[in-house]
Structures are given as structure tokens and as C-alpha cells.
Amino acid sequence: MVTENKTRPESADVTAFVAGVAHDVRRADAEVLLELFGRVTGWEPQMWGPSIVGYGRYHYRYDSGREGESLVTGFSPRKSYTSLYIMPGYQDLSDELGRLGKHKAGKACININKLADVDLGVVEEIVRKGLDMMLVRYETFDR
């Protein structure tokens, strides 16, 4: 059973979205993250829903039969923080999270107030390791 996700790829302009982020710090951080995620993944960014900058796309299927598509990795400059989306989660990233700096980890995202609070080298490690884990689980991606 294919279920439509609420968050789907959109044709909106990523650069315009980032330029329109109201909060000065989060807008500047989003510009840095655009470069970082692009360099690490080698993929072009695409909007997923109205507020997530995503990289890559993969098809998933759960044991329950639910299946769909999602971004491989990405970020979102939210009103109160920036979320980094690292699939498939953080169970194997305890060392990196311990070195990251000030953050809160959710189920599949890391929330940070500003990039100045974290080590960008560790952010890059986390994005790269998440991408590597996804490549093991899912043989092909749409870029």
C-alpha cells in the first residue's frame, strides 16, 4: 500500500526560499548548510513541502506494508531553530552527537539554535555518515 506522505518534493526555488527566511541568523546558517549539504551529497537541493531543503530521494517500504518516498537528507530553517534531517536516525551517531555541541536530537532530526553553537566539521561527519548508512540500506537513490 503506497501512502502519500505529507511532505513531498516541490518545484519551488530553493535559493528564493533561503533568501526569504525572516530570521537573519537562520538565513545565514541556511546559506552555509546549502553549501555543506551540496558538497557532501553531490546532489542539487530540492524543496520538500514548504520549508524543507532536501537532497536525494529514496523509496521505503515498512514491514507493515506502508511505503513511500522521502528525502535522503536535508535541513529546515524553522522559526525557533534549524532542523537537520539525517536518515535513518541517530542510533549509530552517539560519538558524533557527543562532539557536536549544543543541540536537541529528535527521532530523525537534530535541532540547533544556530550554527555557531555546533562544530561544522562534526555536522559534515553526521551528514556523511547518515548518507553512507542510507546507501547501505537503499541501493539506489534518485538524485
Q: What is the CATH number of the domain that holds 25?
A: 3.90.1150.200
Is 113 a domain residue? yes
Asked if residue 55 lies in contact with residue 73, where contact means CB atoms within 8 angstroms, the answer is yes
Asked if residue 71 lies in contact with residue 42, where contact means CB atoms within 8 angstroms, the answer is no
Write down the pLDDT at residue 107: 78
Write down the pLDDT at residue 138: 76
Is 6 a domain residue? no
Write down the pLDDT at residue 86: 87
Domain span holding position 82: 14-137
Residue 132: which residues within 8 A CB-CB, separation 6 or more? none
Write down the pLDDT at residue 4: 57
Alpha helices in the chain (DSSP H): 14-19, 24-41, 94-100, 120-137
Is 8 a domain residue? no
Write down the pLDDT at residue 135: 83
Write down the pLDDT at residue 3: 53
Is 91 a domain residue? yes
pTM of the entire structure?
0.89
Write down the pLDDT at residue 56: 92
Is 127 a domain residue? yes
Write down the pLDDT at residue 142: 64
Is 133 a domain residue? yes
| Helix, coil or strand: residue 139 | coil
Write down the pLDDT at residue 58: 87
> Which residues in the chain show pLDDT less than 50?
1
Is 53 a domain residue? yes
- In total, how many domains does the chain have? 1
Is 94 a domain residue? yes
| Helix, coil or strand: residue 42 | coil
What are the tens digits of pLDDT across the range 91-114? 678 899 999 999 998 877 899 999
